[in-house]
Amino acid sequence: MNALRESYGQEIDQILAKYPDDEKRSAVMPLLFVAMRKDGYVNKQDLEDIGEIIGRSSTDVASILGFYTLFHDKPEGKYRIQVCNDLPCALRGADEYLDNLCDNLGIRPGETTEDGVVTLEAVMCLAACDKAPMFQVQDYNGVAYHENQTVESTMQLVESWRAEGGKDA
Amino acid sequence: MTEAVENQVEEQAQPEEKLVTLTIDNIEVSVPEGTVLVDAAKKIGVDIPVFCYHPKMEPVGMCRMCLVEVGRPVFDRATGEPVLEEDGSPKIQFGPKLDTGCTVEVSEGMVVRGYTEEVVDARKEVLEFLLTSHPLDCPICDKGGECPLQNLTMRYGPGTSRFIFDEKHHAAKHVPLGEIIYLDRERCIQCARCTRFQDEVVDDPVIGFSQRGRSLEIVTFSDPGFDSYWSGNTTDICPVGALTTADFRFGARPWELKASASVCNHCPVGCNTTVNTRREAKSGGELVIKRMMPRQNEYINEIWMCDKGRFAHHYTQSEERLTQPMVRNEVGELEATSWEAALDLVAEEFKAASDGLVTLAGARLSNEDLFNIQQVTEKLGGKALQNTHMAGGELVASVGVGQGSNLSDLGEGDAILVVASDLEEEAPLYWLRIKQASERGATLVVANPRDTKLSSKANYELRYSYGEEAAAVMALLGSISPKTPGESEAVKKLSRGQEVKDAATAISEANNLVVLYGNEGTGLATSQSLADACANLLVATGHVGKANNGLIAVWDKGNTQGAYDMGLVPSEDLAADLMSAKAAYIVAADPAGDDATLAEAIKAVEEDAEKFLVVQELFLTESAKLADVVLPVQANTERQGTYTNAERRVQIFYPAVPAPVNVHADYAVAANIAERLDLKLQKVIPAQVMAQIAETVSDYAEVSYTKMAEVEEQWPIISSEDVFYGGTSYENEQGMGQQLQPASQGGESPALSFAQVADAPKVDGLLAVPVTRLYDRGSTVVPTELLSERLTPTSVVLSPDDAEKLSIEPDAEVTVKLNGTETKAQARIEAGVPQGYVLVPRSVGIALNSPSPVEIKA
């Protein structure tokens, strides 16, 4: 019945074991991570499944999903390049870097490349102002920082993802 | 030490709340400890403006609209004495910043100022911030005219904005949260009243916030969208025009509406309502009903109502209404005729039938109607029946809840037993008020064969099999007083286990005990033994004859209790009664439409030339189509009358719109028939009918329209001038009604018989049991198109195990063979339905009055 539980039963049991029986709703965040890892976003069925596991409505789960910017509710690129262009980063050329990167990728912030490998996003402070231009990459498994970037170094990274065929994301 | 002990003693002797005295806007007020400033101010008529605060919900302090200056007396740290000003008054220290009046609790000597420049400026600023992302579309907004944001902006807000118009926040304006409620995301000011109401008050968290900051928006992920019986209430408490009902949006402006007080008759709660009407060109200059709103009655519905009551009013102004009396002519067709001719014929035939008259009345009628109908029947010596399959009206009259009862009084130390009821489906407001009592600390015992929405609130849950309702109650009684005679197998079986013993202990130790029984899976016979058992339990534990103690029957119709009180009884075999009739007088009931076997009986009456069938109705029902005479009547929105609710509170409803020309109220039609039988009944003024009831029915001796119309001060204080505080629920200016005294409260000791306890019926195959769904397909519900997608389909509900055994897929079409009829129905599968049983929702197309063997074929 519960697809999420069927696929990740053991892991979910381990997560639930961390919380007291009457506070199962606290497990919502780790369960959302589990769902995210599956295909990079949380679909409507996942919301219902998580709701069922923790005894809350799917609307409740959706409001938590919506609150956090690193949870996603629709499928996009396998790698999300999240470039910080807040003021300190902009002073170190982040804006120009982002523009050039856009030209090289052929997409604007918020868009996804045609091959589905990269989604480009402009984000707020990532706490690495001194190493700008910088971005963080979010893939299905988590986030990683890439600092002191040039468009060339970034494109190399993108090409390496493309070479992998974007598989084991 | 001694002093402390003395204080404790005093506190025990006076369990009254401690009062705190403070000054708000130079007015001194004493309020109970723990009151928040906004409420304290309201008590003395000072309005501190609010958006997110609502007196029926916990404060959250989100909107900052209620900022006020708060000062507290200064005490000398060394002596503990108050520091005084030169003039001898206590020195007050004001806070460095403004405080939110909705979260700060009162304290002794506090001084609150809500009129200073600083406060007025703060209000102006909060409003300015809200308006930066709020559209100025008041001229086309449904809330315009009763909008807190509009009113408060007019009073405190800035005349112009300092922000750039082009940079204004824009969002989707017509977002359906399901087909009933629409959201305008631009108008939403994120006060979270709606989400908190759905979560905290009615336990349906189907709407919530998503995103954050300026992108914060209301979402729903339920299927169907905004899946709740309570959704309409969010539009009342929404302080802007963000939430509107599909029924009313773009329908009228609030200031064009006239308000008439009414009482809902869809269920036995008797919610107080206000009918908003408007005379409009698009309806040919007629006065039409635009919306139904809750009207405050803290004894009954507080300030809420369910969506069925709110939306299922369209039948009253349906095109299909009957407008002329009709008689069957020589060629066998119904033909319009005059009232004189129709009534003369009816009276003549009734006289001829004499004690062969069988009257069947539906309990959506008022007391006045039922009384006059009963009097006509009694005059001829006929049988006066009411159309119900629930028994116990006379028990409620004897051991019902005492005069002065209010479910809101139940809390810690009290107990509530709910047996055989899916309470939210049967009577939504009772579900809400029992849930709230449980949250206040009352011990809740729920006995039902399956989980219902109330189960999650139960302290003790008792399971029994369908058919063992009375046994379950007797098992409780048996655990309290072991001398209970005639124990059946079922009682013995149910008495085992710790849960029933603990529940019995809780009940026997309770200060107050209220028992509610419904009709989950019961027929007339089981309902009678269940009612007996409940009464036994109440009497044995001494919980009768006083306020907040006694029996409540969750009736299947709005005025079933009134019908019992007026002397109409249920029929044990309606088909036989109808067959035996020489003349049948069917009022507000449609046996032929409800049940194929009854249709046969009615046809037999019709086909027999000797027999005579009169149907008095709003619509040309299946029964009316077979009648010799059809008499049209007024809808309850077109006339006055009273209903008696399940707590025996008698309440008046008033006319809201004019009746069709030449159509009269049921009591008047009955009185006109009576006149021709030389029986004088009141036919013009319902208050006069009530006077006659008071003379005839001893329980109603004290009831009068004047007393029912008396109002009381209620808390929270809501009124149309300050919709920001409580929402757009109407103030009650038309009366709280009168609660009758049960016989046991009048000193009469109740004459009780021990309940006839049956064991669960044993069948080889499946057993079909009737259950109630709020959104059924009754003739008063179906004409409301808005609800059409939510009405329960013609369906049966199976347990997953039985469905698997029969290889039935969810929602598949199946054939239901029941009581000699075959019906196509949708098969629903629900976990929690006990194996071996098939739930058959009432009034959705499959007739079932009591548990019966059933065959389901894929």
DSSP for B372-406, please give it.
Answer: HHHHHHHHHT-EEEE--S---HHHHHHHBPBTT--
| B430 within 8 A of B437, measured Cβ to Cβ | no
Span B133-147, average pLDDT: 93
Residues in chain B closer than 8 A to A123 (CB atoms): none
Please tell me whether residue B530 adopts helix, strand or coil conformation: helix
What is the DSSP code string of B118-162?
HHHHHHHHHHHHHHHTS---GGG-TTTTS-HHHHHHHHHS-SS-S
Q: Does B661 lie in the same domain as B578?
A: yes
Nearest CA in chain A to B177: A59
Q: What is the pLDDT of residues A72-110, one digit of tens each?
A: 999 999 999 999 999 999 999 999 999 999 999 999 999
Span B69-86, average pLDDT: 94
Nearest CA in chain A to B206: A59
Q: Would you say residue B280 lies in a domain?
A: no
Contact B221 A65 (CB under 8 A): no
Helix (H) / strand (E) containing B334 = strand B334-336
Q: Does B238 lie in the same domain as B136?
A: yes
Q: Does B545 lie in the same domain as B410?
A: yes
Contact A67 B211 (CB under 8 A): yes
Q: What is the pLDDT of residues B380-439, one digit of tens each?
A: 999 999 999 999 999 999 999 999 999 999 999 999 999 999 999 999 999 999 999 999
| Residue in B204, B208, B212 closest to A62 by CB | B208
Confidence of residue B329 (pLDDT cuts 50, 70, 90): very high
Contact B221 A44 (CB under 8 A): yes
Q: What is the pLDDT of residues B27-74, one digit of tens each?
A: 999 999 999 999 999 999 999 999 999 999 999 999 999 999 999 999
Kindly report the CATH number assigned to the domain that includes residue B415: 3.40.228.10
Q: Would you say residue B538 lies in a domain?
A: yes
Please determine, for residue B166, whether its predicted confidence score (pLDDT) is greater than 50. Answer: yes
Distance from CA of B187 to the nearest CA of A (A): 19
| Residue in A48, A56, A63 closest to B219 by CB | A63
Q: What residue has token string 């910043």?
A: B97
Please tell me whether residue B542 adopts helix, strand or coil conformation: coil
Kindly report the CATH number assigned to the domain that includes residue B188: 3.30.70.20
What is the DSSP code string of B625-676?
HT-SEEEEB--GGGS-EEEE-TT-EEEEE---SPPPTT-B-HHHHHHHHHHH
What is the DSSP code string of B246-270?
TTTTTT--GGG-EEEEEE--SSTT-
Strand partners of residue A80: A119, A138
Domain boundary among B556, B574, B593: B556
Contact A59 B206 (CB under 8 A): yes
Residues in chain B closer than 8 A to A56 (CB atoms): 205
Residues in chain B closer than 8 A to A62 (CB atoms): 208, 210, 219, 221
Burial class (CB in 10 A: 0-12, 13-18, 19+), B132: middle
Helix (H) / strand (E) containing B23 = strand B19-24
Under DSSP, the state recorded for B294 is E
Q: Would you say residue B794 lies in a domain?
A: yes
Kindly report the CATH number assigned to the domain that includes residue B109: 3.10.20.740
Q: Does B631 lie in the same domain as B588?
A: yes
What residues contact residue B251 under an 8 Å CB cut-off, 6+ apart? Answer: B142, B290, B291
Q: Would you say residue B67 lies in a domain?
A: yes
What six digits make up the tokens of A97? Answer: 């870097």
Tell me how crowded residue B805 is: count the other CB atoms within 10 A of its CB: 12
Residues in chain B closer than 8 A to A47 (CB atoms): 221
Q: Does B419 lie in the same domain as B376?
A: no
Confidence of residue B1 (pLDDT cuts 50, 70, 90): very low
Span B682-697, average pLDDT: 97
Q: What residue has token string 């008792």?
A: B462
Q: Does B531 lie in the same domain as B424?
A: yes
Q: Would you say residue B367 lies in a domain?
A: yes
Domain boundary among B213, B245, B277: B245
CA distance B309 to B294: 9
Q: Does B397 lie in the same domain as B371?
A: no
> The dihedral of CA B436, B437, B440, B445: what is its sign?
negative
Q: Look at B403 and A169; give whichever has higher pLDDT.
A: B403
Please name each of the domains of chain A with its CATH number.
Answer: 3-67 (1.10.10.1590), 79-168 (3.40.30.10)
Distance from CA of B481 to the nearest CA of A (A): 36
How much is the pLDDT for A150? 96
Is-cis flag, bond preceding B139, omega within 30? Answer: no
Span B555-561, average pLDDT: 97
Contact B210 A60 (CB under 8 A): no
Residues in chain B closer than 8 A to A25 (CB atoms): none
Residues in chain B closer than 8 A to A66 (CB atoms): 209-212, 219
Contact A59 B221 (CB under 8 A): yes
Strand partners of residue B460: B445
CA distance A77 to A120: 8
- Chain A positions with Cβ closer than 8 Å to B: 44, 47-48, 56-63, 65-67
CA distance B509 to B414: 8
Q: Does B135 lie in the same domain as B217?
A: yes
| B94 within 8 A of B223, measured Cβ to Cβ | no
| Residue in B204, B212, B221 closest to A67 by CB | B212
CA distance B824 to B815: 5
| B485 within 8 A of B754, measured Cβ to Cβ | yes
Burial class (CB in 10 A: 0-12, 13-18, 19+), B785: exposed
Q: What's the total number of domains in chain B?
A: 5
Please determine, for residue B163, whether its predicted confidence score (pLDDT) is greater than 90. Answer: no
What six digits make up the tokens of B789? Answer: 């997608």
Q: Would you say residue B487 lies in a domain?
A: yes
Burial class (CB in 10 A: 0-12, 13-18, 19+), B47: middle
Q: Does B567 lie in the same domain as B546?
A: no
Q: Which of B236-250, B410-424, B760-774 has the lowest mean pLDDT?
A: B760-774
| B446 within 8 A of B460, measured Cβ to Cβ | yes
Nearest CA in chain B to A65: B210
Q: Does B460 lie in the same domain as B552?
A: yes
Kindly report the CATH number assigned to the domain that includes residue B631: 3.40.50.740
Q: Would you say residue B751 lies in a domain?
A: no
Distance from CA of B97 to the nearest CA of A (A): 30
Strand partners of residue B828: B797
CA distance B193 to B55: 11
Q: Does B436 lie in the same domain as B365?
A: no
Residues in chain B closer than 8 A to A124 (CB atoms): none
How much is the pLDDT for B194? 97
Residues in chain A closer than 8 A to B219 (CB atoms): 59, 62-63, 66
Domain boundary among B197, B221, B245: B245
How much is the pLDDT for B489? 86
Best to test chain B binding among A32, A63, A65 (most B CBs inside 10 Å): A63
| B639 within 8 A of B656, measured Cβ to Cβ | no
What six digits make up the tokens of B594? Answer: 């409800």
How much is the pLDDT for B484? 61
Residues in chain B closer than 8 A to A57 (CB atoms): 204-206, 208, 221-222
Q: Does B538 lie in the same domain as B410?
A: yes
Nearest CA in chain B to A43: B221
How much is the pLDDT for B8? 43
Residues in chain A closer than 8 A to B212 (CB atoms): 66-67
What one-letter code names the amino acid at A38?
K
Q: Would you say residue B337 lies in a domain?
A: yes
Domain that holds residue B503: 393-556
Nearest CA in chain B to A47: B221
Q: Look at B607 and A134; give whichever has higher pLDDT.
A: A134
Residue B276: name the closest of B241, B313, B246 by CA. Answer: B313
Best to test chain B binding among A25, A52, A59 (most B CBs inside 10 Å): A59
